[in-house]
Structure 1
Amino acid sequence: MTAAAVQAQSVDASVVEAIADWCDALHGDLPLEDAFAALAAGLGAEAGMLVRTHFSDFRPMRIAVWDRNGARSASPLATSFADGRFGPHIARPRAASVWLHSHADDAADVDPALEAWQARRGLAELAVLVLSGGPGMRDHIELHFRAALGPPTQAALGAVLPTMARTWANRQVGLVTRMVVNHRAAAEPAPARPVPAMILSPSNPARLSRAEFRVCLLLSRGLSVTGVSDELAVSEATVRSHLRSIFSKTETSGLAELVFALLRSKPDASAQSGLRCA
C-alpha cells in the first residue's frame, strides 16, 4: 500500500477527536503537547512542530514538537523549515492558509537543509498551516509527510484549519509563553535566578491596588482581558489602564510575561479568600 493510500485511510478516523482535544488543550483542559501529537498523527503526518515567529527577528520558537520515530532516529525533528522553504512569501500570511512544499512554484529555491533532512528521514512533503499571521508575529504548524498530500488529506486540512485558527485566537492567556519557556528549560540548563515574588501573596509585594489585585487574580485563573472586563463589569479600556499600572509595578514587559509570572507564583487559598472579602 502506498503512503498516499495510508493517508487517505487514516485521516477521517481520528481527526475529529483530535480537533476536540486541540480545542480542550487551548483552554487548559489537556496538555497541549499531547493534543498536538494526536492532531498530527490523525492527519497522517510523521512529524510536526508548532512554531511562533516574531517578525522583529524571524527566529522561530518551538511551542510543541511531535515526531513519530524521533526517539529511534539519528535526525529527529528539531528545526523549523517554513521560512527557509517559502522565504518572504510566508512572512505575513493569511490566517487559516495552507502552504505545501510540493505546490510551491519556486522549486529552484528549495531549502537545502529541508531536502537533506527529508532524505535522511524518507519524507517528501512539508505542509505549513497558518494559525495567525500578525501584526507582530506568526503562529503556525509544520507537518511532515512521507508523500505529497492526496485530495483526502488536503480536504481534511481545509476543513479543520479554520476551526483550529479560530480556537487558537481564543486560547488561554499565557499558554504559548508557558510552552516556550518549558521547551527552553528542557533544552538548556537554567541559569540561577532569584525566586520571583508572589505577586498575589497576602503581603502584596508589588503594592497593587484592590482593583489591580483583582485583575491579576482573574488573569491567573485563565480569563482573557475581555473575560476580566465582564467579570468586573468594567470596560476593556479600564482593564487595560489597570494593566499598564500592573506592568510597571511588577516589572513585566506585557500581558504574556505577567500571566506567566502569576502562574509561577499562584496565591494560596487564604490569599484568594482575602481577595474575595476585600
Structure 2
Amino acid sequence: MVPFAGASELHFRLARGLDLINNWNAGLYGRYPLSDVLSVMLRQVEARNAVLYRFGSNRLETVAAARHSLDQAKPKVSSGNMLKYVQKYHAAKIEPGRIFRLSELQTEPDFYQTATQREWAAQHDLVENHLIILSASEGQYDVIEIAYALLPEDCPEFPFSLLSTALANGWENRVSGLVSRQVRNFGRGRSTGPLQETDILGPYNPAGLTRAERRICQLLVGGDTAKDIADTLNLSVATIRTHLHNTYAKTGADGQVQLVALIAAGMGRSE
C-alpha cells in the first residue's frame, strides 16, 4: 500500500487512496470521530474544508466537519444549498457514489440567480466544491461536501469517482447508531483535533497505520533517526520518509517532533 523506492505519481495516488479508505472504514466502525477522518481526507486530497451531513424533511444535521490543519479557522458547516439545487435539477442522477461538481453546475442556465449561485459568488477564497452522495433513500440524503482553494487534479488512471464509490459502499456498512452519536458529539463540540490524546500505537490502531508505519513509529519514539530506522529495517531513507509522510497525514502531526509527542501523550490510553 505504501509506495516503494522509485514509485511513480500513480503509485502515490493509489497509496493515498487506499489509506483514505482504510481511515474511512475505521471511522465508520466508531474507532475515532469522523471529524478526525475528514481531517486526514483533507490533507490527502489537498482541500480546504469538508463537512458530512444528513438532510431530510427540510432539516440539515451536521454529522462531522473538518478544516485543513494549516487553516486556523473553525470548520464551516454546509447550508445545504448545493444539495437542494441538485435535488431540484438532477434528482434522477442522485445515487450513492455520485459526485456533483460546482464547476459543472455553474455552466447550467438554471444555476444563475439561485441560492447556491449567490452563496458561492461570495466565496472568494474557494474555487471548487464537490458534493459526494453517500446514500439517498425516501427523501433522506447523507452527503459529504468538500471545498477546495485550489483546483483538484483528477487522474484518468485513478479517478476520484472510484474513491467516492468506495466511500459510499463503506457508508452502507457503517456501525449501527453511528450517525446519531456523531451528530450529538458534533453539536456538543466534543470532536477535537486529529487524534489528540489518542493511543496511536494502541491495539485499536485509530490512525489506520500500516504494519510498517507502526514499526517505524515504535523505533522513532525510541530515539532512532530516519537513517537508523532505514538500517534496522533494511530500507532506504527515502522509503522511511515516505512512510513518515503518510503517518503525518493520518495522525495530524506536522513533523517528527509532534508525532513523537502525540504518541507519547497517548500511550496507555487504550488500556
Please tell me the TM-score bracket, short chain as reference: 0.5 to 0.7
Counterpart for residue 82 of structure 2: 82
Q: How far, CA to CA, are the matches of 2:157 and 2:68 in structure 1?
A: 21
- 8 A contact 1:11–1:44 mirrored in 2: no
Alignment of 1:1-278 (within 5 A): 11-12=13-14, 14-54=16-56, 56-57=57-58, 59-68=59-68, 72-73=72-73, 76-80=75-79, 81-83=81-83, 86=86, 88-89=88-89, 93-104=94-105, 105-106=107-108, 107-108=111-112, 109=114, 110-116=116-122, 118-119=123-124, 122-152=125-155, 155-186=158-189
Find the residue that maps to 2:32 and give its secondary structure: coil
- 8 A contact 2:132–2:144 mirrored in 1: yes
- 8 A contact 1:98–1:130 mirrored in 2: yes
Q: Which has the larger radius of gyration?
A: 1
CA-CA distance at 1:154 after TM superposition: 10
Q: Which runs of 5+ in 1 are unaligned?
A: 1-6, 188-278
Q: How far, CA to CA, are the matches of 1:154 and 1:180 in structure 2?
A: 36
1:12–1:21 CA distance, 2 compared to 1 (3 A): same
CA-CA distance at 1:20 after TM superposition: 0.3
- 8 A contact 1:131–1:164 mirrored in 2: yes
CA-CA distance at 1:69 after TM superposition: 5.8
1:29–1:69 CA distance, 2 compared to 1 (3 A): closer
Q: How far, CA to CA, are the matches of 2:120 and 2:179 in structure 1?
A: 26
Q: Which moved more, 1:176-185 or 1:9-18?
A: 9-18
CA-CA distance at 1:76 after TM superposition: 4.8
Q: How far, CA to CA, are the matches of 2:77 and 2:169 in structure 1?
A: 27
The one-letter amino acid of 2:120's match is L
Q: How far, CA to CA, are the matches of 2:85 and 2:42 in structure 1?
A: 20
CA-CA distance at 1:143 after TM superposition: 0.3
State the percentage of identical aligned residues.
22
TM-score (norm 2): 0.56
CA-CA distance at 1:96 after TM superposition: 0.8
Q: How far, CA to CA, are the matches of 2:82 and 2:157 in structure 1?
A: 18
Q: How far, CA to CA, are the matches of 2:11 and 2:63 in structure 1?
A: 29
Find the residue that maps to 2:146 and give its secondary structure: strand
Larger % of helix: which?
1
Counting matched residue pairs gives 175
TM-score (norm 1): 0.55
Cα offsets for 1:22-70 (capped at 9, x unmatched): 111111223322122212321221110001001x22x221111011168
Higher relative contact order (CA 8 A, sep 6+): 2
Find the residue that maps to 2:26 and give its secondary structure: helix
Counterpart for residue 190 of structure 1: none
Q: How far, CA to CA, are the matches of 1:43 and 1:90 in structure 2?
A: 26
The one-letter amino acid of 1:22's match is W
Find the residue that maps to 1:114 and give its secondary structure: helix
Q: How far, CA to CA, are the matches of 1:162 and 1:48 in structure 2?
A: 17
Q: How far, CA to CA, are the matches of 2:76 and 2:157 in structure 1?
A: 22
- 8 A contact 2:47–2:150 mirrored in 1: no
RMSD value, Cα? 3.0
1:155–1:135 CA distance, 2 compared to 1 (3 A): farther
1:153–1:36 CA distance, 2 compared to 1 (3 A): farther
Find the residue that maps to 2:46 and give its secondary structure: coil
